[in-house]
Amino acid sequence: MGEAMLTAILDKGLAAPGDISVGNHADERRKYLAEKYDITVTGNNLASARTGDVVVLAVKPQQVSEVIADLSGQLKPSQLVLSIMAGVTITTLHNGLKFDRIVRVMPNTPAQIGEGMSVWTATPEATKKQKGWASSILQAIGREIYVDDEKYLDMATALMGSGPAYFFLFVEALVEAGVKIGFTRQVAQELVLQTMLGSGHLIEKSGKSPAELRVMVTSPGGTTAEALRVFEKGGFTNLVTQAVKAAYDKAKSLGGEPK
- Same domain? For 89 and 191 the reply is no
State the pLDDT confidence band at 131, using cuts at 50, 70 and 90: very high
Q: Which one is predicted more confidently, 63 or 161?
A: 161
**Boundary residue ending a domain (129, 160, 191):** 160
- Position 93 scores a pLDDT of 95
Task: Output the average pLDDT for the chain.
Answer: 93
| 8 A C-beta contact, residue 64 and residue 81 | no
| Domain end position, chosen among 128, 160, 192 | 160
Domain of 109 in residue numbering reads as 2-160
Q: The whole model's pTM is what? A: 0.88
Beta bridge partners of 82: 56, 103
Query: Does the residue 113 lie in any domain?
Result: yes
Asked whether residue 178 is assigned to any structural domain, the reply reads: yes
The answer to whether residue 256 scores a pLDDT higher than 60 is no
Residue 237 in domain? yes
- Residue 102 and residue 81 in contact, taking contact as beta carbons nearer than 8 Å: yes
Which residue would you say has higher pLDDT here, 43 or 146?
A: 146
**Helices 185-206 & 163-180 angle (0-180, nearest 10):** 130
CATH of the domain at 125: 3.40.50.720
Shared domain for 12 and 136, answered yes or no, is yes
Under the banding of pLDDT at 50, 70 and 90, the label for residue 59 is: confident
- In the chain, pLDDT over 90 holds for what percent of residues? 84
Is residue 259 assigned to a domain? no
Number of domains within the chain: 2
For residues 118 and 35, membership in a common domain is answered with yes
In the structure, what pLDDT confidence band is assigned to residue 108 with cuts at 50, 70 and 90?
very high
As a whole number, mean pLDDT of residues 204-210 equals 96
Do 111 and 176 lie in one domain? The reply is no
Contact 56, 24 (CB under 8 A): no
Based on the fold, state whether residues 53 and 156 are members of the same structural domain: yes
- Whether the pLDDT of residue 255 is over 80: the answer is no
Backbone angles phi, psi at 121, to 5 degrees: -145, 170
Shared-domain flag, residues 101 and 193: no
Last residue within a domain, chosen from 116, 139, 160: 160
Q: Are 78 and 55 in contact (CB under 8 A)?
A: no
Q: In terms of domains, do 96 and 178 share one?
A: no
Strands (E), the chain: 21-23, 40-42, 54-57, 80-83, 102-106, 116-122, 142-146
pLDDT tens digits for range 76-105: 999 999 999 888 999 999 999 999 999 999
**DSSP state letters, 230-250:** HHHHTTHHHHHHHHHHHHHHH
Contact predicate 199/193, CB 8 Å: no
pLDDT tens by residue, 212-252: 999 999 999 999 999 999 999 999 999 999 999 999 999 88
Radius of gyration of the chain (CA): 22
Distance CA 225, CA 167 (A): 21
Direct distance between the N- and C-terminal alpha carbons of the chain, in angstroms, rounded to an integer: 26
**Domain shared by 112 and 172, yes or no:** no
Residue 46 phi, psi dihedral angles, 5° rounding: -65, -45
Are 136 and 173 in the same domain? no
196 and 121 within one domain: no
Q: Are residues 95 and 74 in the same domain?
A: yes
Q: Is the pLDDT of residue 259 over 70?
A: no
Phi, psi of 109 (to 5 degrees): -65, -25
Residue 38's identity, in one-letter code, is: D
Looking at residue 258, its pLDDT comes to: 36
Residue 234 CA to residue 215 CA, distance in Å, equals: 19
Binned at pLDDT 50, 70 and 90, residue 257 comes out as very low
| Cβ–Cβ under 8 Å, residues 80 and 130 | yes
98: helix, coil or strand?
Answer: coil
In this structure, of 50-59, 139-148, 161-170, the range with the lowest mean pLDDT score is: 50-59
Q: What is the CATH number of the domain that holds 227?
A: 1.10.3730.10
